[in-house]
Amino acid sequence: MLFKNNEKTYNTDCIKNEIIRKITKSERTVVAPEISLLIDRLTYWYIERMNMACRELYVDGGDILDLANEDKKVLLDIFDQNNLFQRLNEEKTYESKLFICDDDFRRKILYGTLYNIISRTGKRYGAEYGLVFAKTYNFDLSIPMHYVSYENGITDKNLRKYVNTYIELGGPLETYVLPRYYDTKDRYDVEELRSIITYFNNSLSIKPYDVAVYAKNLKK
């Protein structure tokens, strides 16, 4: 946890700002506005590229979560070689020079970008775009899971697909969800992921395949 205070611990914008603070503290030659602008640029380009990829998916009857099941090399081809880093490196700005720094520095920037993506794309899509980003760049998959939220709550079929995809990708089961994070009331209420899985297992409408997947992972 980055914060002791619960609200700041869960708030994506607060976490991003704390990451920026830690970067500027360790990298004495940079200042927070430059790091923040760099994260915003990467976020914008990533969302732009995701939107393009998703339009192609929808034509074929797929959706965002299908990208998460792609081979990691395929994802890097989409999001790395197709302008995410390349476009930034081509720019003659101070922020682009920052991003060419060492791997540890880039890793911290991408970590802040993950939280920024979740924040900027909001309810439902924040978690979905975040999951694909986390898979591509080897971040903890439970980070976007914290912010998964759907219109119809726990009965939403898209939530079930999200949880399925998360488990198939190897996401840890011992984690939590903030189901009302995007609502003004009770946004920091926490629910354990296992309780959601238990609900799915007890649901009459659940597919046999889902039950098998959950049962297998619950034994781990």
Tens of pLDDT, residues 4-14: 446 678 899 99
Of the candidates 197, 53, 36, the one whose C-alpha atom is nearest the C-alpha of residue 132 is: 53
| pLDDT for residue 208 | 45
Element (H, E) at 199: helix 193-202
Which carries the bigger pLDDT value, residue 123 or residue 124?
Answer: 123
Outline where 27-168 has alpha helix (H): 32-59, 64-68, 72-76, 86-90, 94-99, 103-121, 125-136, 142-145, 157-168
pLDDT at residue 218 tops 60 = no
Task: pLDDT band for 96, please (50, 70, 90 cuts).
Answer: low
pTM listed for this prediction: 0.82
pLDDT grade, residue 140 (50/70/90)?
A: very high
In this predicted structure, what is the pLDDT of residue 200?
Answer: 77
Residue predicted with more confidence, 55 or 128: 128
pLDDT of residue 53: 82
In tens, the pLDDT along 12-42 reads 999 999 999 998 888 777 788 888 988 998 8
Residues in the chain: 220
Q: CA of 212: how far to CAs of 23, 146, 164, 174, 207, in Å?
A: 43, 24, 11, 19, 9
Give me the mean pLDDT over the 76-104 stretch.
65
Greater pLDDT, 186 or 22: 22
Contact 18, 3 (CB under 8 A): yes
Q: Other C-beta atoms within 10 Å of 143: how many?
A: 21
The region of weakest confidence among 22-31, 75-84, 205-214 is 205-214
| Model confidence at 44: pLDDT above 80 | yes
- In three-state secondary structure terms, 177 is strand
What is the pLDDT averaged over residues 67-96?
68
pLDDT of 116 > 60? The answer is: yes
Query: In this structure, how many other beta carbons lie within 10 angstroms of the beta carbon of residue 175?
Result: 16
The answer, yes or no, to whether residue 51 has pLDDT greater than 60, is yes
Q: Does the structure show a pLDDT above 50 at 2?
A: no
Q: Which of 119, 203, 136 is nearest to 163 (CA)?
A: 203
The CA distance from 44 to 120, in Å, is 9
